[in-house]
Chain A
């Protein structure tokens, strides 16, 4: 069964087709990659899936449910979490609090519990904080829990974003260029985090320029070019496809 099924998704900005009738299916519990040259519409695609852009045509089904018109917060409530291409952590919150913010929908909303600090409320908060620390550990940031996110280096923030998404126990995780601007050591750690996440049954969709990483991790690949779906298939098939080579390198002069 497909976790995500996108049908003829279109997005127009004025006269520009950011996305033109993109249809694809992401199988449940798979590790899927979306690649394509700059400006191909990959991030626009993610923004349509997560309620940040409203598509001008087509539909998005998640677990058989139409989520095309939902706002970003509602999409998140359905168990779809994402990271951002340009890394968006909350700079003046500590790493731990960043992760806790990701657990918003799991935290106790009881007014009385909050105001009077009832034992149940305190226990809930303590357990959540401990879980946040375990997620920080999971992405290799156990020693950074108390550091302000704004003071962390770029590559570390990327992993913090992943921890912040994972504490929500998402059914699907969308990663927008997780390896961009990340050192080669951090890249290995990141690959391990992604692999372990997918192994645990989370459907992972990632946009990535790092073809090595994609070939190494993804089970399925879709290639976007100028807003259109060019090819979809296994990593090997996609790599060998002449249309993909052309999209990246241009047409051979005759």
Chain B
């Protein structure tokens, strides 16, 4: 087939090809500079975020920041399932719970160091994902939503009723995270840990998005039947999405446990699952920036509007509906904020006007 490409010797094709090559090299130059600028801006953003606890100088703000980061991590995990592979998952908190409870039980009852509890937490979450995923991922999205909803409820009910998980009281006295000689006890220190986790999760998400795995997920989301014609094994790749989500969810849960010292069933219910879905969909389905922004909005909005007291959730609800109606693709959609396309539309409109 390669000979086919090299042999394209028809004249009218060669000329645009040269033009294209020229513009591409120009673009590449601009591309490298733009990439450098973007990388610089990202590093700057992370550094500024790193100083947030010192700048804010308020335990309240730092803890809000920590909550946002935790939801960011969960949203990035769910983004694999909902955003990339296009499956609705209403029980994502189950993996968050599996991570938290594995870490909580192993560290409190068996005195494992927190970091050592991460691998078993991830493995158990993966087993859970496979256990639920294999029989159900052949279902179309709506049915899958019901099954995942059930899975979330089952996990919450189990931890609420088992003696080993502390029943409704949960697990308390979870020891702090130790990294070498550094023992993390303050909210600010966990803020830094979760900032690091967000950065890692963003990097992993971005890498996967632009590799075979991510393209296969998006193809499945866009058109399952057509994806098969590319040789994509749809059911297997859906399971991969579910598993990837469970890894992010359980790691987040594992580090959540020592950050909050005590964990209890209410933190892992349907409401939590819904918050994560909201973060992903408000931010922009399939968009990494959207997931981050969505997590920020979902946590910060009710806090900012505390003056509305009881009505603030109502205000929040109205705001959500407005976003969904006015900008269904999310605040920061996957194909960018859309300025370029807006400009294009403007230009074509002006050309049309000129013709008249």
Which A residues have a C-beta under 8 Å from some C-beta of B? 50-52, 71-73, 76-77, 81-82, 84, 88, 90-93, 97, 100-102, 104-105, 107-109, 114-115, 117, 121, 125, 131, 134-135, 137-138, 140, 142-143, 148, 151, 164, 166, 168-169, 192, 196-197, 199-200, 202
Contact = CB atoms under 8 A, between A and B. Distances in A.
B312 interface: no
Given A92-B222, A137-B13, A200-B1, A115 B207 contact: yes
User: Contact residue range for chain B?
Assistant: 35 or more
Interface string B325-354: 000000000110000010000000000000
B17 A104 contact: no
A92 to B, nearest CB: 6
Contacts of B1: 166, 169, 200, 202
30 contacts: A51-B228, A52-B228, A72-B228, A73-B228, A73-B231, A76-B228, A76-B230, A88-B223, A88-B225, A93-B222, A97-B218, A104-B212, A104-B215, A104-B232, A105-B230, A107-B215, A108-B212, A109-B212, A115-B204, A115-B208, A135-B5, A137-B13, A137-B20, A138-B4, A151-B341, A166-B1, A166-B4, A196-B8, A200-B1, A200-B7
A135 B6 CA distance: 11
Nearest to B21: A142
Interface string B213-243: 1011011001101111111111000000000
A105 B233 CA distance: 10
Contact of B233 (A73, A131, A137, A143): A73
A68 B230 CA distance: 18
A107 B208 CA distance: 13
Nearest to B5: A134
- Candidate in A52, A134, A148 with the most chain B CB atoms within 10 angstroms: A134
B210 interface: yes
A166 to B, nearest CB: 7
A190 B123 CA distance: 51
- Candidate in A135, A148, A200 with the most chain B CB atoms within 10 angstroms: A200
A157 B216 CA distance: 19
B52 to A, nearest CB: 28
Contact of B215 (A82, A97, A138): A97
B4 A168 contact: no
A91 to B, nearest CB: 6
Nearest to A199: B4
Interface string B294-315: 0000000000000000000000
B78 to A, nearest CB: 19
Nearest to A90: B222
A72 B227 CA distance: 9
B247 to A, nearest CB: 11
A50 to B, nearest CB: 7
Contacts of B286: 92
Contacts of A121: 211
Contact of B229 (A82, A100, A202): A82
A164 B215 CA distance: 13
A168 B230 CA distance: 8
Contacts of B334: 92
Nearest to B234: A73
Nearest to A93: B218
A196 B4 contact: yes
Nearest to B27: A146
A200 B229 contact: no
Nearest to A51: B228
B148 to A, nearest CB: 23
A77 B233 CA distance: 10
Contacts of A92: 218, 222, 286, 334-335
B195 to A, nearest CB: 20
- Candidate in A138, A140, A148 with the most chain B CB atoms within 10 angstroms: A138
B16 interface: yes
Nearest to A84: B226
Contacts of A134: 5
B25 interface: no
B144 to A, nearest CB: 20
Contacts of A71: 228
- Candidate in A72, A125, A202 with the most chain B CB atoms within 10 angstroms: A72
B240 to A, nearest CB: 10
B181 interface: no
Return the 5 tightest CB-CB contacts between A and B, nearest first: A72-B228, A76-B231, A107-B212, A90-B222, A200-B4
Contact of B207 (A81, A114, A135): A114
A91 B335 CA distance: 11
A93 B218 CA distance: 8
Interface in B59-91: none
Contacts of A93: 215, 218-219, 222
A148 B13 contact: no
